[in-house]
Homo-oligomer: A and B are copies of this chain.
Amino acid sequence: MVKVGIVGASGYTGAELVRLLSQHPQVQLVSATSETFAGKKLGDIYPGLGRAGDVTLAALAQTPLTFETVDVIFLALPHGESHAQAPGFLASGVKVIDLSGDFRFHDPKVYEQWYKQPHAAPMYADKAVYGLPELFREKIKGAKFVSNPGCFVTSAALGAYPLLAAKLVDSKGLIVDAKTGLTGSGRKPKPDNMFTAVSENVVPYKLAGVHQHTPEMEMALSRATGQDVVLTFSPQLVSARRGILSLIYGKLQRKISTAELTAHFAKTYQNEPFVRVNPVGAPWPDLASAVGSNDCVLAAAVDERTGTAVVVSVVDNLVKGASGQAIQNLNLISGLDETLGLPKAGFVL
């Protein structure tokens, strides 16, 4: 039984960790912290958690989280707050899986440029393994410190990787047009995430090279393929709570048919338990096809008229894009079956 704690359990990714862990047969949730809601039950904030919400939140300072009480800590904190927490846990011998953006770049300057805040733990910037199992599994297995990927990045990297790995497309100038549900923007009320602002709407934001997931996509793909990847990323909010659907466009460098491209995708991921590649002729994956599960659903085609590869890549931002992938990483670093405790099915409807 792996004993875990969650620091920052009252946010969406924290609540999703609790939801998923409630079905995990080999994990025991020892503690869950929240400064804002200390003393409350998580189920008071998320009534949908049902019996799994019977977890009393405590302030971090009042919570004994050491190597004696927990094996692994999930940091489900806002960006900028994990810097202060990860080093202490690591020093005390507790493994850390950080769901924030704080330790995704080896170079603290990249973090500071894109997140517009100082990196408060630069000595640890290159200590975390990047937790995208499909591209970096072997490194993750032995890790004590995992930096869990961004939600958009998971979708984009898994979708673009086969194109780049086989040098099918120009590595400079990929386009990632991604639509996300609202849980991606957190649970703090803002004019932008009100129902009236979002329902039946599509809201582009941070277009044309300013979203902080842009360099993370480039880093993940460059590191995995050895190429110098540069891309344009266009995030958009859609009228949904969960899910990210990315359309990825690449300029083809040589002729290839849709059938060949699809076969290449299928082969790339043939042993992956959490990646599904739709066959030629099937409907394109929609957002709903990944919601609630830890799956990334892919499909690819060639637009021969323009010489463009078109890829659809879908994940649930809270599961494969955050808490589910964190549990996948937990399984890997704990020597468990990688799929253990993760749902076979999504929400269906």
Contact of A336 with B by CB under 8 A: no
Cβ of A128 under 8 Å from chain B: no
Residues 283-307 of A, flagged 1 when their CB comes within 8 A of B and 0 if not, give: 1111111111101010001111111
Interface of A is mostly: mixed
Q: Are A209 and B303 touching (Cβ within 8 A)?
A: yes
Contact between A200 and B187, CB atoms less than 8 A apart: no
A5-22 interface (Cβ within 8 A of B): 12, 15-16, 18-19, 22
**A-side interface size class:** 35 or more
Closest residue to A318 on the B side, CB-wise? B349
A49 CA to B276 CA, complexed, in Å: 12
Q: What residues of chain B lie closer than 8 Å to A310, measured between beta carbons? A: 207-208, 232, 234
Cβ of A182 and Cβ of B204 under 8 Å apart?
no
Contact A306 B46 (CB under 8 A): no
Q: How far is the CB of A188 from chain B (nearest CB, A)?
A: 9
**A284-B18 in contact (CB<8A):** no
Q: Which of B23, B286, B288 meets A23, CB within 8 Å? A: B23
Q: Which residues of A contact B (CB under 8 A)?
A: 12, 15-16, 18-19, 22-23, 44, 46-53, 172-173, 175, 177, 179, 181-183, 187, 189-191, 193-205, 207-209, 214, 230-232, 234, 236, 238-243, 245, 247, 249, 251, 258, 273, 276, 282-293, 295, 297, 301-308, 310, 312, 318, 343-349
